[in-house]
Structure 1
Amino acid sequence: MTKIGIVLGSTRPGRNGEAVARWVYEQAAQRTDAEFELVDLADFKLPLLDEVYPPSMGQYDQPHTQDWAQKVDSFDGFVIVTPEYNRSVPGALKNAIDFLYAEWTNKAVGFVSYGATGGTRAVEHLRLIAGELQMADVRTQVALSLFNDFENFSDFKPLDVQRATLTTMLDQVISWTNALAPLRAS
């Protein structure tokens, strides 16, 4: 069965991302075409990148990197849930991505973002990063507005249209993940 990791890309205390990631997981878990797992970056407590060798060499010395690599490698594709911080990706998410290389390669990725402008600028940066990692990013993005999909900027109440967008994005992630399977096998 295809296995998709839903990565919660913020470690900030009081983050909106927990509610968003749970919503993504609850919607995804109703599907029968893949297995889904919620992965919280906060659980891995990754320091700033502290490996001697570049990730492309796959020589991880630190136990936290080895644990992170094992988790990421266990998935066939990903959905990344990210806020937008200062027109870009949260530092914790970028750092977690930068720890690894081959574990991301030849896997599909979709994005669920949130922020004042729906987190779209963070996803623009993530798409560039995904390209460098040889990931296939899908077109459809769930862009959640702090003004429309949250009450008081903190109580997550997505508009009905977001569910349909999430379904389309998941369809694409699963299709691309399955299409890339021969590349991962070689």
Structure 2
Amino acid sequence: MKLLVVIASTRPGRVGKPVADWFVDQARAHTAFDVEVADLAELALPLLDEPNHPRLRRYEHEHTKRWSEIVDRADAVVFVMPEYNHSFNAALKNAIDYLHHEWAYKPVGLVSYGGVSGGMRAAKALLPVLQPLRTLLVADSVLIPMVGSMIDDGVFQPNEIVADSAKPMLDELATVAQATQSLRKQHAA
């Protein structure tokens, strides 16, 4: 099975990259998935510029076709996402809105980070966006409070609580991805 890890932050000097690097290492060590990384800063999707509704899958731009192929390959998705002003960031919303069918019946895990809340408000704000796309948000998440205090020389070094939260989420993602494999195949057909 393939796990897509999406780095949602596009800001210069972002902490999302070191956090994602740590999580990708955890996911690869878990061995339930082949891991693919999609960095929204590198993908550089413009504000949604497709003339047709994503449900139609009549994409005109190469960047959309490329993004569609990346998400289509995935059996599960993890968003590594910041909390900005009590919500998730615009680049993540834009990337999600580009597609429709590609998200269906895929379990989604969240690695959210921020200040005191650990990105919990951003995670909650994302729920109504993911639900109509038929994603399956897993119960276990990785919440990283005071993320800046865990970055040392550009490397994310989580405390024990954060470090221990990755495995339960990966376990649940693997279980749900396996259980919903036939749903994804039927939907693709």
Partner of 1:11: 10
SS of the residue corresponding to residue 103 of structure 1 reads: helix
Residue 90, structure 1, aligned to residue 89, structure 2: yes
RMSD: 1.5
Alignment of 1:149-168 (within 5 A): 150=150, 156-168=156-168
TM-score of the superposed pair, with normalisation by structure 1: 0.94
Counting aligned pairs with the same residue, the percent is: 40
Q: Is the 8 A contact 1:10 1:42 kept in 2?
A: yes
Structure 2: unaligned runs, 5 residues or longer? none
Displacement after TM superposition at 1:150 (Å): 2.1
Secondary structure (helix, strand or coil) at the match of 2:175 reads: helix
Runs of 4+ displaced beyond 6 Å: none
Q: In the aligned structure 2, how far is the partner of 1:149 from the partner of 1:174?
A: 30
Partner residue in 2 for 1:136: 136
Matched, 1:125 2:125: yes
Amino acid at match of 2:163: R
Shift of 1:155: 5.8
Letter in 1 for 2:137: D
Give the Cα separation in 1 of the matches to 2:129 and 2:48. Answer: 16
Q: How does 1:1-186 map to 2 (within 5 A)?
A: 2-116=1-115, 117-146=117-146, 150=150, 156-186=156-186
8 Å contact from structure 2 (residues 118, 147) kept in 1: no
Look up the SS of the partner of 2:138 in the other structure.
strand
Give the secondary structure class of the aligned counterpart of 1:4.
Answer: strand
2:108–2:135 contact (8 Å) kept in structure 1: yes
Number of aligned positions between the proteins: 184
Unaligned runs of 5+ in 1: none
Deviations 1:11-64 (A, max 9, x none): 111000000000000111112222112211112110000011111111111111
